[in-house]
Copies of this chain bind each other. A is one copy, B any other.
Amino acid sequence: MLRTRRVVLAGLGSVGGAVLRLLDGRAADLRARHGLVLEVVGAMDSRGGAVAPGGLVPGALVAQKSRGTSVAELPGVGRPGADVDALLAELAAAGAPADLLVVAGPGDLRDGGAGLAAVLAARRRGTGVVLADKAPLVVAWDVVTDGTVPVRYSACVGAALPTVDLARAVLVSAAATRVEIVLNSTCQRVLGDVERGSTVAAAVAGAQRAGVAEADPSADVDGTDTAVKLVVLAAALGHPVPLRAVATTGIRDVDPGWVRAERARGRAVVLLGTAVPGTPWALTVAPAALDGDHPLARMGRHETGLVVDTDVAGRIAASGRHHDVVPTAAAVLRDLVLLA
């Protein structure tokens, strides 16, 4: 029994592009293992969309993006200036409504931006949503997760490491006493370089050259990205806290001498997000020196992870090692399969 689900991809940057390649490359595997065909019927970049009720050719979309041009310029299927709402409307009018929407554009933490607009469009049409964009969750958690349409967001908190599912599973029968995350790859890399003698600025520049850090590294280096992930994780565990209530200190002004002195003592400085249960949960993000045997200290600098301390289930730790954006795309694909 083969099920076909029509997918629209909103956002064709590094994550969206990787999702497209994964959908293409694993099509046979999805059929064999899950009896599932995920057909890309729409795709959006910053300049518009492309739509085809009978299915777009993923390879053609990838090729178009790698030429640096917009999918909106593709002959026949391109829709310059169209938004997600218009794409979904065209598909519905053609009798081939989209089943699933992937939102993977750049996030806008002020008002949710195009990502939130896309989620709201999907809600109106009953289209399931997979988020790689965290902003809609932070800006409008209650609306996005109210169950009007199914929503998953594995890729937002820990890439391929299923942090939310893991923490939820542990906490079905135990109470958290503390949750800790180190989930920003750029900060991990930068702090590793600082340990080895670099300045923060030079390490950030190196991360940018390596394609790990963004052109504007503020969200990573100033701790916002970690705070956002902490907010999403806490909300997923039933404890929504507004982003502005997270006391956040980044690593921009971290003292390299301190980082090296801690390393010399067998400890590791990480950018740590901490959630302490209470009413409400208290969330903080700040550089912290952890004992060498702490699960988040003994990770390599190419790893990110989380720790859940509990009352009756002991301490649970998990980490993921990844070198590029492919595991994030794998998390999006997991969510697509689980929603399909």
Contacts and interface: CB of A to CB of B under 8 A. Distances in A.
User: Is the contact region of chain A dominated by helix, strand, or loop, or is it mixed?
Assistant: mixed
A175 B29 CA distance: 9
A230 to B, nearest CB: 20
Interface stretch (A60-68, A74-82, A269-277, A319-327): A319-327
Interface stretch (A143-151, A206-214, A329-337): A329-337
Of listed A29, A173, A310, A337, residue having the most chain B CB within 10 A: A173
Interface stretch (A102-110, A162-170, A256-264): A162-170
Nearest to A160: B313
Interface footprint category on A: 35 or more
Contact of A298 (B160, B298, B333): B298
A253 interface: no
A316 B161 CA distance: 6
B26 A173 contact: yes
A174 B314 contact: no
A290 interface: no
8 contacts: A159-B314, A160-B310, A165-B166, A173-B334, A310-B330, A312-B326, A314-B326, A314-B327
